[in-house]
Structure 1
C-alpha cells in the first residue's frame, strides 16, 4: 500500500462529508513579521500593542487575513490539491480575534457538488471552520473550487449546488469583545477619516502599485503551508498556454488589502467576507493596483462595539493597469482585461459620535 497521499479528486467527495484537516499551526510573531515583509500592510491596530490596548483589546491581534490564510492552507491537501482553480468565497465571518501564541485547526464540510459538462472536472463547495486551542471558532467561510476528476465519466451521486447568501448581514457582524474606538488616535492611525466621512457609492483609488516577485509568491504560499500543485509545479501547468505557475489567490487578496491602506487607513479590521472571485489569473512580475467602492454602512455600537461602525467595501485589483477611471466591467457585465480580483467584505471603522 502506498504511503503517499495523491489528494482527493472530484469523485472522492461526498455530500455531507466532514474532513478534519491535518497540522495544527501556532501563530507566532514571526508569522506577523513575515506577513508584513511580504505584503507591506500598515494598519495600526495590528502593528502596535499600545494602540490596540487603547482600542480595548488585550494587545495587537494578528491581521484577520493571517488567520484566513493559515486555515485555508490547512484545507488544501484535502480539498484543492488537485484543483484547477479556486473559484470564489461567500458567507465568511471572523468570529474571534487571533493573537500570537494561538494555535489554529481547521475542519470542512462538503455542502455542494456539481459536475462540469466536460466530464473532466467538477466544482466542490465546502464550509470551513477554523478554531483556536480552546475550541473557540475564530472564522468560518464557504469556498468553491474546480477539482480534476481521476476517472472521467465516473458516477458522482448527491450533486447539489448550495444556495449561499449574497452578503453577511450587519446584524451578524461580530466586533471583537471589548473593541472600543472612543479614544481612537486618528493621527497615529495615519488619516482623519471616520465612519461619517464615507458615503455609499464612493470610489477610492488607492493609487499605489506593488509588484509580487516569483520568490515572494513562493514564500508566501509556503508560509501558509498551501501545497496546491499549480503554485509550485510548472509541469501541472503544461497544458496551459502560459506554462507559468499560478500565484496563490490569497497573495492577491493580501496585496490589494495592503494597498487599500491609502484611503482606508482606519478600515483594516475585516469582520466578514461577503463574496470573492479571482476574476483572472495572476502571475509573478505583474504590478498590482487596487481601488475600493463603499457598498453599504452599518452602525455597530449597539452590537457591542463602542464608537464602532462598519463599511461594506468592494475591493477590485488589477494587474499592470492603474485604477484611475478604470472600468471594471463592460456594458454586457463582462470583466475588463486586467481585472484579477473582485472582493466584497465588511470592515470595522471608528465613529466620531
Structure 2
C-alpha cells in the first residue's frame, strides 16, 4: 500500500520572519490522484452512540418500528433492548469517512451493497475504515475522477456492524488549487492570511 501523505506539498519552513504570520497548511483531504486501489484508511476517532442519537434519528425520519423507541416492546424481543436505527449507523459511518474519502468530493454517486452485520445498541462505540476498491477517470468531467471504497464499521469489541460501497466524484488536485490560506470550504480572504 502506498503512502499518500501530502508531505511534499506542505510548507517545510515553519519560521515566520520580520513579525509576519506563517500560515501552515493543514489536512486538505485527498484528491483523486491520492487514491490507490488496496489502500485502507482507518478514520480518526470512534464515536459512542447515545440514546439521544437514536431517539432523534427515529423521530426525525418517522421510523415507526417500536424496536427503536419502545423499551417495553424491545425488552420482549431476542435482543432484550432497543436497537439503534440502522440509518443512523449508515450516516455515522459515512460521516466518519468524509475526512479521508470525500472532503474534496463534488458529488456522491452511490451507496451500494449496504449490509448490517450486527446490531448496534446505546453505548456502543463505532469505528470506521475505508478500503479503495476502484478508481477511474470521469467520462464526462475532466476536473474529477470516480473513486469507490468499501466502508466498514465496527463496534468497540471489533464486531463488524456495517459494510457498504461508497462512490464519490473527487476533485483532481490540479483543479482544486489548495493553499494554506484557503483550505477546502473556506472563502477567499477569511481568517489569518500569510504575512499579516
Deviation at 1:34, TM superposition (A): 2.5
Q: Which of 67, 73, 76 is the matching residue for 2:95?
A: 73
Distance 2:96 2:186 in 1: 22
Matched, 1:102 2:124: yes
Structure 2 unaligned residues grouped into runs of 5+ = 1-10, 12-23, 176-183, 188-196
Distance 1:9 1:90 in 2: 22
Deviations 1:89-138 (A, max 9, x none): 22211000000100000011000001114321000000011000000000
Q: In structure 1, what is the equivalent of residue 164 of structure 2?
A: 141
RMSD: 2.0
Deviation at 1:234, TM superposition (A): 9.7
Distance 2:149 2:186 in 1: 27
Look up the SS of the partner of 2:127 in the other structure: strand
| Residues 37/92 of structure 1: CA separation in 2 closer, same or farther (3 Å cut) | closer
Q: Which of 114, 122, 130 is the matching residue for 1:92?
A: 114
Q: In structure 2, what is the equivalent of residue 4 of structure 1?
A: 26
Distance 1:134 1:67 in 2: 16
**Pairwise mapping of residues 152-171 of structure 1 onto structure 2 (< 5 A)?**
none
Look up the SS of the partner of 1:45 in the other structure: coil
Deviation at 1:43, TM superposition (A): 1.5
Deviations 1:210-256 (A, max 9, x none): xxxxxxxxxxxxxxxxxxx7xxx696xxxxxxxxxxxxxxxxxxxxx
Look up the SS of the partner of 1:44 in the other structure: coil
Q: Which of 75, 83, 95 is the matching residue for 2:105?
A: 83
Q: Which of 128, 140, 153 is the matching residue for 1:130?
A: 153
Matched, 1:26 2:48: yes
Q: In structure 1, what is the equivalent of residue 19 of structure 2?
A: none
Distance 1:115 1:20 in 2: 25
Look up the SS of the partner of 2:26 in the other structure: coil
Moved over 4 A (4+): none
Distance 1:106 1:234 in 2: 27
Q: In structure 2, what is the equivalent of residue 193 of structure 1?
A: none
| Residues 65/84 of structure 1: CA separation in 2 closer, same or farther (3 Å cut) | same
Distance 1:130 1:119 in 2: 33
Contact kept? 2:36, 2:132, Cα under 8 Å? yes
Distance 2:114 2:84 in 1: 17
Q: In structure 2, what is the equivalent of residue 47 of structure 1?
A: 69
Q: TM-score, normalization: structure 2?
A: 0.74
Q: TM-score, normalization: structure 1?
A: 0.42
